[in-house]
């Protein structure tokens, strides 16, 4: 399966939490947690469609101001999702600046907070000096935060001491694989039309619908969606990336992580402490590397990426990764 999601840790395993996920062929990206963001270029930041914040600790939210400044002058809308209380946290951040010179700016920031199966939304308009508009709310079915025809983000609430820390699953709706040899055999010219074809398949458009397919020798040929599905493509379960931030090493948290991460193609999960320091991990409400590896193996994840390492291991920087991988591989 060719990748659809291209994730990378913005600040490595020891830095602030931020996972940037580029979505192939879409010119857009998603951000999971909003720690320090200066490693991302303005071009990368401006691809962001939405930001998903696990919780409001400083190393997960400090990059918000940098993000705000990047989007401020643009005719754009940015969505930020997070746990209960995030709307008020963002409101206070916005209230900390003077906004007397932004009349006419069209940027809109929309914050949606999730708790107990409900989404609450508040928008802040630059042209109104970011004064909050009245709240609205609606049910969140099956933990769904955001659904598009091509991908869906779902959420699970974990405990991190006395607060909630959200974990997220990014799932491709349906993976549509293109057979290059079939394109060649039919003399179809590869190009942007294939992205549109994939979208139509995911949206379950009628097989009778025709597309103008560009030919290698020039011109176009009308071909039905059904014929294209049979001759140049096949469908399979979509890709799945799961992101788990700070979580106490409790049985209940571990079961929720397992449920969310079942058969993930990639599990990105915190590993703050070595298992030898389990007492410290419990005290600080974080997972150990061994626990993270075991969770990945039990969930059937294809790949594991651990991060959010405690600075106490900086002199042995590969220790936590090795411990996690041993547990993940079942050695």
> In this predicted model, what pLDDT tens digit does every residue of 92-151 receive, in sequence order?
999 999 999 998 999 999 999 999 889 999 999 999 999 999 899 999 988 999 999 889
Give residue 312's pLDDT: 96
Give residue 92's pLDDT: 97
Calculate what percentage of the chain has a pLDDT beyond 90.
74
Give residue 198's pLDDT: 82
Give residue 193's pLDDT: 87
Cα(54)–Cα(57) distance, integer angstroms: 9
Cα(67)–Cα(110) distance, integer angstroms: 13
Please say if the pLDDT value at position 1 is more than 70: no
Burial class (CB in 10 A: 0-12, 13-18, 19+), 301: buried
Element containing residue 289 per DSSP (H, E): helix 289-299
Cα(110)–Cα(94) distance, integer angstroms: 12
Cα(156)–Cα(142) distance, integer angstroms: 9
Mean pLDDT of 67-77: 96
Return the SS3 of 53.
coil
pLDDT band, very low/low/confident/very high, at 156 (cuts 50, 70, 90): very high
Domain ranges of the chain: 1-144, 175-236
Mean pLDDT of 271-294: 98
**Pair type for strands 175-178 and 266-270:** unpaired
Mean pLDDT of 81-97: 97
pLDDT band, very low/low/confident/very high, at 52 (cuts 50, 70, 90): very high
**Which carries the bigger pLDDT value, residue 167 or residue 116?**
167
- The answer to whether 260 and 284 have CB atoms below 8 angstroms apart is no
Q: In the sheet that 77-83 helps form, which strands lie side by side, from edge to edge?
A: 5-9, 19-23, 28-32, 48-52, 77-83, 108-115, 118-125, 136-139
Give residue 234's pLDDT: 76
pLDDT band, very low/low/confident/very high, at 205 (cuts 50, 70, 90): confident
Q: CA separation (Å) from 309 to 17, 59, 211, 292?
A: 10, 12, 50, 12
Q: Determine the Cα angle at 328 with ends 324 and 330, to 5°.
A: 120
Mean pLDDT of 18-37: 94
Mean pLDDT of 224-246: 88
Give residue 200's pLDDT: 87
Per-residue pLDDT tens over the stretch 244-271: 999 999 999 999 999 999 999 999 999 9
Mean pLDDT of 220-239: 84
* Average pLDDT in the chain: 93
Please say if the pLDDT value at position 91 is more than 80: yes
pLDDT band, very low/low/confident/very high, at 25 (cuts 50, 70, 90): confident
């Amino acid at each position: 399966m060719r990748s659809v999601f291209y994730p990378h840790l913005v600040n490595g395993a020891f830095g602030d939490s931020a996972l940037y996920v580029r979505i192939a062929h879409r010119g857009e990206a998603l951000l999971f947690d909003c720690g320090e963001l200066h490693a991302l270029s303005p071009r990368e930041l401006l691809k962001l469609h939405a930001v998903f914040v696990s919780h409001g600790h400083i190393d997960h939210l400090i990059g918000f101001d940098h993000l705000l400044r990047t989007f401020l002058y643009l005719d754009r809308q940015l969505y930020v999702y997070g746990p209960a209380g995030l709307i008020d946290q963002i409101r206070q951040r916005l209230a900390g600046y003077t906004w007397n010179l932004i009349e006419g700016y069209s940027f809109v920031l929309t914050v949606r907070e999730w708790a107990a199966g409900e989404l609450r939304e508040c928008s802040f308009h630059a042209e109104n000096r970011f004064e909050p508009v009245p709240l609205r709310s609606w049910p969140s079915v099956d933990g769904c935060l955001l659904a598009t025809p091509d991908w869906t983000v779902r959420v699970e609430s974990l405990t991190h001491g006395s607060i909630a820390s959200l974990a997220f699953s990014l799932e491709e709706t349906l993976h549509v694989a293109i057979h290059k040899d079939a394109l060649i055999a039919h003399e179809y010219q590869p190009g942007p039309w294939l992205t549109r074809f994939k979208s139509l398949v995911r949206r379950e458009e009628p097989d009778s619908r025709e597309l103008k397919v560009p030919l290698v020798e020039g011109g176009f040929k009308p071909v039905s969606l059904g014929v294209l599905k049979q001759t140049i493509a096949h469908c399979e379960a979509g890709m799945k990336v799961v992101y788990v931030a700070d979580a106490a090493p409790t049985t209940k948290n571990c079961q929720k992580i397992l449920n969310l991460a079942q058969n993930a193609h990639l599990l990105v999960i915190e590993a703050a402490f070595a298992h030898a320091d389990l007492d410290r991990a419990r005290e600080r409400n974080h997972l150990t590397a061994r626990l993270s590896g075991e969770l990945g193996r039990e969930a059937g994840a294809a790949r594991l990426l651990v991060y959010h390492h405690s600075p106490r291991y900086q002199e042995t920087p590969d220790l936590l990764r090795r411990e996690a991988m041993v547990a993940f591989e079942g050695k």
